[in-house]
Chains A and B, each alone.
Chain A
Amino acid sequence: MGPGSREENVSKKTNANAALDDTPSVVVAKENNALQIYSLDDAAAHFGLDIGLPLANARAICPHLKVFDANEAADAKTLGDIADWCDRFTPLVALDPPHGLFLDITGCAHLFGGEAKLLKLLCDVLTAQGFAVSAAIASTSVCARTMTRHVHGRIVPDGEEADAVGPLPVSALGAGSTITNGLRRAGLKTIGDVASRARHEITARFGARFSTRLEHALGQGDAPISPRKPLPDYIVEQRFAEPVSTESVISATLSRLAETLVAAMEKQGKGARRLEASFFRTDGAVRTIMVDTGRPVTKREVIDRLFRERLDALNDPLDPGFGFDLIRLSASRTEIVVQQQRDLDANVHDNDELAALIDRIAARIGGKRVVVHLPQDTHIPERAVQAVSAQHHLAAAAQAAWPAPVEEEPPLRPLRLFEKPEPIKVPFATVPDGPPHHFTWRRAIHAVVRVEGPERIAMEWWRQNGQALTRDYFRVEDEAGLRFWIYRDGLYGSELVTEEGEPAPSNWFVHGLFA
């Protein structure tokens, strides 16, 4: 990582800060079938309690101890929420569980008046929220993390990593108790001591992994962080000195941001395929709303309209609470826009209009609910068609090759097909494998007056569920003129046999309805 890159580590030391009075409190978790201290506050530490101490021992030392159960899921969620909030400083935020966060603030610090001001702002807000924070800025992530374990608020200038971490005890490296104890036993008390030894000695004794970690802490090389979200291609944002909460201001802001975003994308000939609007509330909650489009968007009006549709249709509407202090619009997926010559041909225009309509509907009711259909190469009726998202497959569907209907032939496939064939009651058929005389469907009796069939459809034996029974389909018309597509599941006498070898009764289903 370049010399300008800085990392930061926010560490939430204790989650027992619920108890604000001086009563010592600890959080316990079950480990090796015994309750042990998972984290503790300053008052408890004052009594000489430490992480990992069994609860029974702790109670013996300090009888009026307040004990809370550890909730790791809630801790992880809190850390995630803090990470969401930290998105306002940089798009590259990585989790360092259980208590840490990395922020890659390369090129972001000047937006907040420099690194020192950024660090102060971040720590002040988190402290005000009731978190214990320990933060540091350094050129490498490992160095920053090492610093936070013992010093709060330190900014390590470029090239001075070795000097900064040198005086810290070896435990600050966070390499695990075995290695830490081993180093202490060898007389290496500080990181500086360890660094003074030849690297091959350290590697031989403590392994290559520890040696690499040491190098990173000393600023020689860096491990990449893995950000929680992929970096969007374009980001524009608007900060507010005074939080905003009215709908008109929010939509006007989005519109202004969209204009800037479009202008930025236009310079590189790009259009947005996925847009995300993030609303940062003053109390730290962040709401992100995403809109997908079928083709690259290059117009502010379109972005405006898509977000208006989406915001209108939200099941849980945007709750401004005490107001938003930051609204961000990012294009997380972009595509190169092919400039098309507008000719007089109505087709091009129509296709654009249709795609825009699909985008609008999808923004409101969801992309999966707007579908086009692609033919599948199978003769199983329910699998003959695949419904795919219209946003992504509109062009493919327009080119799809459907089997051409045979001239002068009545329809052989029903117009409406049940996803799950509905069972019907057939009292008897004159011939065992013949069509029924009448059947009961949905509690109504239909007498068959015309019938045609069977059309035998065998299942695909090469598939997982290909062991299903062969179906004999009949096209039948009842006395009222209703036309059904019914089938008998299984071949009489060969597939439908009881254990004794006798022919078993067959099941009938109605699979579709003809026009």
Chain B
Amino acid sequence: MTGARMNTLAALRGDIERIETHGDLHAPRRVSLGHAEADAMLRGGLAVAAVHEVFAEGHQSAVATGFIAGLAGRVALRRPLVWVRQDFSEMESGALSMSGLSELGLDPRCLVTVRAADGESALRTAADALACDALGAVVLEIWGEPRQLDLVASRKLTLAAQASGVTGLLLRIAATPSPSTAETRWIVRAAHSTPAAQSAPWSAWGAPVFDAELVRNRHGPVGRWIMEWNCDECLFRQPATNSQPVAAAPAHRPHQAPVHSVFKRKPAPHAMRGGTRFA
């Protein structure tokens, strides 16, 4: 049986279960992120058929891209993913790399990229794509604050997502959060990643790690966590706390020695690990 069929069956079973237990079909289906505390805060995970926003500063665009790719990978479940971006965003922070995406555990075969010329055209295309129920998720990457992306546009996106059941993910780079109809809003910053000692001891760092702050949650409290993206299992999790000291590198890499001294002089400011802070 194909994966799509399994998904359909699972979705139908879920629907029936909901009807039988609560009689409430409108409760949103949720996909767990894998990070236990965040999932608890989100009441089981990220709601599909809704719009979620991820904000990041301009120089942290790649980090936010990784985070939103993770969210898309969770909700899309091997269904087609449409990534709409504007030309300026690609000039400013680089094009989405397929090899990078593939290494994060996402399938480049499922990705259709739309190269919109400007924010307005990107917004319109995304609204169009959100109305197509064959998709797993639609990522809309917007640089800055285009005039067209107001509360009305946000409402349109949400309505389209609700009608089709497709999840909309807004990547807002170099923008400040403004009122919107998003289900959740995240601010993502870079965080240090510790090398996985067992699997790749030669590596300077391990899996991608994000400092993700949930600043809006329509159905619950907010929080801030350090999340690690597990590329193999394609889910978020808490970073391992028992990581080895960063400075202990193998002795056969002599050219790294001077760099260690740099690190010792300047320890990482984001040293918080595993702790939950409520903002």
Residues of A participating in the B interface, judged by any CB pair closer than 8 Å: 344-347, 349-354, 356-358, 360-361, 364-365, 368-373, 375, 381, 384-385, 387, 390, 394, 397-400, 402-403, 405, 407-419, 430-431, 434-435, 437-438, 442, 444, 447-452, 475-477, 479-483, 512-515
Indicate if the CB atoms of B100 and A482 lie closer than 8 Å.
Answer: no
Q: Are A365 and B114 in contact (CB under 8 A)?
A: yes
Segment among B15-23, B28-36, B175-183, B261-269 that sits at the interface with chain A: B261-269
The interface residues of chain B, by DSSP majority, are classed as mixed
- Closest CB-CB distance, A338 to chain B, in whole Å? 20
**Minimum Cβ distance to chain B for residue A144 (Å):** 48
Interface check B96, CB cutoff 8 A: yes
The residue in chain B whose Cβ has the minimal distance to the Cβ of A483 is B205
| Closest chain B residue, CB of each to CB of A409 | B200
- In angstroms, Cα B208 to Cα A352, docked, is 35
Residues A437 and B259 in contact, CB atoms below 8 Å apart? yes
Give A411's nearest chain B residue, CB to CB. Answer: B103
Specify which of B95, B97, B204, B270 is in contact with A481 (CB 8 Å cutoff): B270
Contacts of B217 in A (CB 8 A): none
C-alpha spacing A451/B109, complex, angstroms = 31
Q: B132: which A residues are within 8 A, CB to CB? A: 353-354, 356-357
Number of inter-chain CB pairs below 8 Å: 251
Assess A373 versus B113: contact at CB under 8 Å? Given A415-B96, A481-B211, A515-B100: yes
A358 to B207, CA, bound (A): 34
Q: Point out the residue from B128, B202, B231 that lies within 8 Å of A361, measured CB to CB.
A: B128
Q: Given that A346-B4, A444-B59 are known contacts, is A357 also in contact with B128, CB under 8 Å in the complex?
A: yes
- Given A350-B79, A365-B116, A414-B97, answer yes or no on A357-B129 (Cβ-Cβ < 8 Å): yes
Give chain B interface residues in 231-278, CB to chain A under 8 Å.
231-232, 246, 255-256, 258-259, 262-263, 266, 268-270
Where the two chains meet, the residues of B that have a C-beta atom closer than 8 Å to any C-beta of A are 2, 4-5, 7-8, 59-63, 65-67, 69, 79-80, 82, 90, 93-105, 107-109, 111-117, 121, 124-125, 128-129, 132-135, 189-193, 195-196, 199-200, 202-211, 229, 231-232, 246, 255-256, 258-259, 262-263, 266, 268-270
Residue pair B204, A450 in contact (C-beta under 8 Å): yes
Given contacts A405-B103, A415-B104, contact A370 B114 (CB under 8 A): yes
Complex contact A350–B94 (CB within 8 A): no
CA distance A448 to B103 in the complex (A): 24
Q: Is the CB of B134 within 8 A of A357?
A: yes
Residues in A whose Cβ lies below 8 Å from that of B8: 346
Q: Which residue of the partner chain B has the closest CB to A477? A: B205
| Given A345-B5, A435-B259, A451-B256, A415 and B100 contact (CB-CB distance below 8 Å) | yes
**Whole-angstrom distance between the alpha carbons of A397 and B121 in the complex?**
25
In the bound complex, residues from chain B placing their C-beta under 8 Å from that of A475 are: 204-205
